Amino acid sequence: MIKISFRVLLIILICHCNAFGQVNNALLKNVQAKLDKVTDYEAEGKMKTNVAFLKLPIAKVKLYFKNPNKFKLKSENGMSFVPKGSMSINLNNIFSNNKFTVIEAGDDKIANTNVKVLKLLPDDDTGDLVLTTVYIDPVNALILKSRTTTKENGTYELQMTYGNYLKYGLPDKIIFSFNTKDYKLPKGITFDFDDGSTQKSAAKTNVPKKGEIEIVISKYQINKGISNDVFK
């Protein structure tokens, strides 16, 4: 088993971060209150990678969380490609800096649910983070979507679908979208077998490529206590 840290997912834990504690926004407070019910959890998930240059089978994963901000994603079998990246570091930046301005940006709809849109602007504009937009379902006090724009690493998005663990604010499904760079091996390095079949599509140049990771989560075990060793 390899231990892999899926720090990106920290975004779903934003309410656990002290940062939000100081945000004087009723909606965010509600969200935080809901998430505070969970001190730790362990869950099983199936991770599907949709990236043009990665043809990977669905991976069985385990997710671990412990208050306040410990999170770990482990693959159950085989190898996994786990997205990491500067974005997660940037997220940490927001929450550790504790300084951002919340702007209410009106209402929107996600899959027939009315949502409130909040824009979080970092007070420190020297970092990579430019803007984080969160879409909150005010009725259930849940974050359905967030979008983060960075200077260097493009935009990435998190969409969450809730079901069985709605009352803890824990999603059944997470879709994480991000920008990928071009992957190109030098020709000739692989001595490939040319089977004569035509290639699917000419690569679209200059269009930023999107990658997507989809994790379907089940069997949450909430507040059963987790050893810190898991996160090592």
Shortest Cβ 190–another protein spacing (Å): 5
- Of the pair 197, 228, the CB lying nearest another protein is at 197
Binding site for another protein (CB under 8 A): 2, 4-5, 48, 50, 52-58, 78-79, 81-85, 178, 180-185, 187-200, 202-203, 211
- The rounded distance, in Å, linking the Cα atoms of 159 and 56 is 21
Nearer to another protein, 24 or 201 (CB): 201
Q: How far is the CB of 50 from another protein (least distance, A)?
A: 7
Measure the CA angle with vertex 12, ends 61 and 134; round to 5°. Answer: 140
Tell the smallest beta-carbon distance from residue 177 to another protein (Å). 12
Minimum distance from residue 21 beta carbon to another protein (Å): 30
Closer Cβ to another protein, 166 or 230, answer by number: 230
Distance in Å, CB of 74 to another protein, minimum: 11
The dihedral formed by the CA atoms of 184, 190, 194 and 195, expressed in degrees to the nearest 10 = -100
Q: Which residues pair with 149 in a beta bridge?
A: 131, 155
3-state secondary structure of 97: helix
Q: Give the residue with the Cβ less far from another protein, 52 or 166.
A: 52
Min dist. Cβ of residue 171 to another protein (A) = 21
Distance of alpha carbon 88 from its chain centroid, rounded? Answer: 9
**Cα(160)–Cα(27) distance, integer angstroms:** 18
* Cβ-based nearer residue to another protein, 1 or 139: 1
Cα angle value 183/187/190 (rounded, 5°): 90
Q: Which strand ranges, in their side-by-side order, compose the sheet holding 209-222?
A: 3-4, 70-75, 59-66, 40-50, 209-222, 171-180, 155-162, 142-150, 129-137, 113-122, 100-110
Given the complex with another protein, which of 70 and 119 has the nearer CB atom? Answer: 70
The dihedral over CA atoms of 62, 31, 225, 171, expressed in degrees to the nearest 10, equals -20
